Structures are given as structure tokens and as C-alpha cells.
């Protein structure tokens, strides 16, 4: 038998993935889902201008390894300088580079128990030690996160605002107040994937180059370019420059760069999508309430719905929904795993949800 010479660390890790994709589930079912409401994708799609820009981009050339035009445009959008911006292969890719830069074997990292799991896989992959704190009433708890970071001398502390999987969000000023307890030498990794969905006052009222924090944003959600994998980091120029030590300089393809640039310039389309997301959240809230479930407040493009029972019941509801052609997900850790999570969809998607959810609930109750 062939013996591959993996590192001892790689040999010690389980072979697993954070999420089972809807495509895998469709292959297992031998049929497509009728409504894809589990991946927090923007079903309303990208700006038509972005779609045209991608279609018209010459594919025989590599992408600009500096993402120069996109960084210049983002700098103008935020009123900052391009050296405060790093473009990468989605937030997931940027998280991987950041962990590679900051975390070695035995280094402490803090996150919330049940928060976005891909970050955890990066930390494990470089030998870091994860320390977790619980949510506080379905919100991530910045004060507890920063206190734990002080206790364990953490290099990084991860916080998503708005949060995935719960959709809840803190006002930016409250996070800034809690940052008084952020220990010196600990970097706050602030995942803002859903920031364009959130109400005014959610972003941090701090300069983008504040050295205590790096912010991660994306074109995957409200901009509708999840398949293109375009994310970007905002932070102090010295930290941003460090990404050049480890990143894949040709990781960004030319069509994705062109699409993101065009999408950023079409803020009219962005506002129309924001309005449709808000309307879809309201519809999901109404559908959930009509079945006796309790939808949580959301500042994202999905709604977490409390099934009013335990995790086993929520899992049964999810199973019955999937069996009836509606792809949804659920949080992984207690007590948030009493909920299911439903992404915003088109009116037709949500008509299917309204039809299937009460049937799935009755079936779950009889399991």
C-alpha cells in the first residue's frame, strides 16, 4: 500500500468538511431541490452589468495578481488608500492566509461555540488551539470573547457581525466599547460578510487602519457573486502587506475581478437587492410565525427560526424539509441547534417554503 508522507499534524486531523453542499445532497437524492434556501446565497443574482463584464472578459489571460483596479475602486468607495485592502478568494481564502500568517502549533485562538466553522478548520490545519465561549441569548458575546482572549493570550479572536448562523448583530459602537478589554497583541478578526444587509450603525465606527482589527468583506452575499469567490480584507497597511508573504498571487481569476469591479460600481442594483432581501426576511418571519415557530431578528440574508423544541426535533424538521425538496441548514452547537436556518429566496421559493414547512413540522412531530 502506498504510504504518503503527510505531516504529523495532517495525519492527526479528521478527513471532513464544514458543510455538506446542496449539490452533494441532490446527487444523493437523484433530484434537484425545488427551493435552495440553505447556503445564504443571493438568489436575486448579481448586477446585469457585472454579468456582462464577466462574460466579456478575455479568459486567456491570468488575473492581475495585484487586483489593482478593484483595490483602487474599493479604496475610493470607502475613502481609504489601496494599501489598506487585500483581495482574495472569498473570506474563506483570506481567513486561511491570515491564520497561516499568525498561528503556529500551540498558539491560542478564540471563537464562539457554534460560530462559522471554516475559520476553525484553518486554525486546526496550522496547529492552533481553539478556545470557545458560548453565545449570549443567540448573540455572539464580544465581552466574553475578549476576556477569554486575555485568559489564554490569544493571537486571534474571531467575531462575525452580523453573525452566521444566527443572523443577529451588535451595533458597531458596542463592539468598540468592548474592545477596551481586547488584550494588547490580540487581533480581532471581524467577519462582516453580511454587512450590506445590516442596519445603519452596524459597522465599526473606527478607522479602517485601526491596528487592533482586520475586517473581512465579500462580494458573495448582497452583490450576488458567490460563485466568483471575491472577498477582501480591510486593515492596517503593515498587516495587509504581510498577506503578500503567503497568498496565491494568481488566485483571483480575471473574470471575477471584472465582475466585482462592475458590481461595486452599480450601487443602484445593490439597493434593489437590499430591498428584496428585506422583503424576503419579512416573508420568512410571517411564514414561520404562521406555523407557531419563533423567527429570530436578522441583520443578514437569512433567518434563524426557533423550532421551540430541542436539537433532535430541529434536525427532524430539517430532514423532512430536505426530503420534500427544500434545502435548508441548521446551527451545529447547542443551544442554537434548536433552530433551523432559512436563506432569503424569491417569492416563488418562499411560496414553496410556505407550503412545505407546515407539512414537514407535522411529519417531524410524528417521528
Residues 6+ apart with CB under 8 A from 360: 317, 320, 321, 323, 324, 326
Residues 6+ apart with CB under 8 A from 349: 35, 36, 37, 43
| CA gap 147, 39 in Å, rounded | 32
Per-residue pLDDT of the chain (367 residues; tens, 9 = 90+): 678 999 999 999 988 777 889 999 999 999 999 999 999 999 999 999 999 999 999 999 999 999 999 999 999 999 999 999 999 999 999 999 999 999 999 999 999 999 999 999 999 999 999 999 999 999 999 999 999 999 999 999 999 999 999 999 999 999 999 999 999 999 999 999 999 999 999 999 999 999 999 999 999 999 999 999 999 999 999 999 999 999 999 999 999 999 999 999 999 999 999 999 999 999 999 999 999 999 999 999 999 999 999 999 999 999 999 999 999 999 999 999 999 999 999 999 999 999 999 999 999 998 7
Q: Report the pLDDT value the prediction gives residue 230, as an integer from 0 to 100.
A: 98
Q: Report the pLDDT value the prediction gives residue 19, as an integer from 0 to 100.
A: 81
Q: CA angle 21-36-319, nearest 5°?
A: 70
| CA gap 38, 28 in Å, rounded | 17
| CA gap 319, 12 in Å, rounded | 32
Q: Report the pLDDT value the prediction gives residue 16, as an integer from 0 to 100.
A: 76
Phi, psi of 300 (to 5 degrees): -125, -170
| CA gap 124, 99 in Å, rounded | 10
Q: Report the pLDDT value the prediction gives residue 1, as an integer from 0 to 100.
A: 61
Q: Report the pLDDT value the prediction gives residue 15, as an integer from 0 to 100.
A: 83
**What domains are there in the chain, each with its CATH number?**
18-45+268-365 (3.90.1150.10), 48-265 (3.40.640.10)
| CA gap 354, 286 in Å, rounded | 9
| CA gap 154, 185 in Å, rounded | 8
Helix segments in the chain, DSSP class H: 8-12, 22-29, 48-55, 68-78, 90-102, 118-125, 142-152, 172-178, 237-242, 254-265, 267-290, 311-323, 347-365
Q: Report the pLDDT value the prediction gives residue 20, as an integer from 0 to 100.
A: 85
| CA gap 360, 354 in Å, rounded | 11
Entry pTM: 0.96
Amino acid at each position: 500500500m502506498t504510504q504518503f508522507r503527510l505531516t504529523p499534524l495532517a495525519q492527526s486531523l479528521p478527513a471532513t468538511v464544514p458543510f455538506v453542499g446542496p449539490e452533494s445532497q441532490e446527487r444523493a437524492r437523484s433530484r434537484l431541490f425545488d427551493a435552495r434556501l440553505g447556503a445564504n446565497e443571493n438568489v436575486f443574482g448579481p448586477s446585469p452589468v457585472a454579468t456582462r463584464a464577466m462574460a466579456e472578459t478575455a479568459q486567456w489571460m491570468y488575473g492581475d495578481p495585484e487586483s489593482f483596479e478593484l483595490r483602487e475602486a474599493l479604496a475610493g468607495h470607502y475613502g481609504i488608500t489601496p494599501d489598506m485592502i487585500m483581495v482574495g478568494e472569498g473570506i474563506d481564502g483570506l481567513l486561511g492566509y491570515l491564520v497561516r500568517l499568525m498561528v503556529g502549533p500551540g498558539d491560542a485562538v478564540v471563537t464562539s461555540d457554534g460560530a462559522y466553522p471554516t475559520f476553525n478548520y484553518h486554525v486546526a490545519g496550522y496547529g492552533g488551539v481553539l478556545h470557545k465561549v458560548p453565545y449570549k441569548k443567540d448573540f455572539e458575546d464580544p465581552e466574553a470573547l475578549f476576556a477569554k482572549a486575555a485568559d489564554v493570550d490569544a493571537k486571534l479572536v474571531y467575531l462575525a457581525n452580523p453573525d452566521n448562523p444566527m443572523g443577529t448583530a451588535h451595533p458597531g459602537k458596542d463592539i468598540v466599547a468592548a474592545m477596551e478589554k481586547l488584550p494588547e497583541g490580540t487581533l480581532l478578526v471581524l467577519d462582516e460578510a453580511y454587512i450590506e444587509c445590516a442596519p445603519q450603525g452596524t459597522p465599526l465606527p473606527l478607522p479602517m487602519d485601526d491596528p487592533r482589527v482586520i475586517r473581512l468583506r465579500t462580494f458573495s452575499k448582497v452583490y450576488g457573486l458567490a460563485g466568483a469567490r471575491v472577498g477582501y480584507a480591510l486593515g492596517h497597511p503593515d498587516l495587509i502587506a504581510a498577506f503578500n508573504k503567503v497568498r496565491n498571487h494568481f488566485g483571483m481569476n480575471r473574470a471575477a475581478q471584472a465582475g466585482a469591479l462592475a458590481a461595486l460600481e452599480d450601487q443602484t442594483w445593490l439597493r434593489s437587492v437590499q430591498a428584496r432581501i428585506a422583503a424576503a426576511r419579512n416573508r420568512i418571519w410571517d411564514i414561520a410565525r404562521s406555523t407557531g415557530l419563533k423567527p429570530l431578528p436578522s441583520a443578514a440574508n437569512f433567518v434563524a427560526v426557533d423550532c421551540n423544541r430541542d436539537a433532535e426535533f430541529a434536525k427532524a424538521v430539517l430532514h423532512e424539509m430536505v426530503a420534500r425538496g427544500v434545502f435548508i441548514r441548521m446551527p451545529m452547537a447547542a443551544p442554537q441547534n434548536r433552530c433551523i436556518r432559512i436563506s432569503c429566496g424569491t417569492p416563488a421559493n418562499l411560496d414553496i417554503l410556505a407550503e412545505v414547512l407546515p407539512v414537514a413540522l407535522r411529519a417531524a412531530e410524528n417521528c
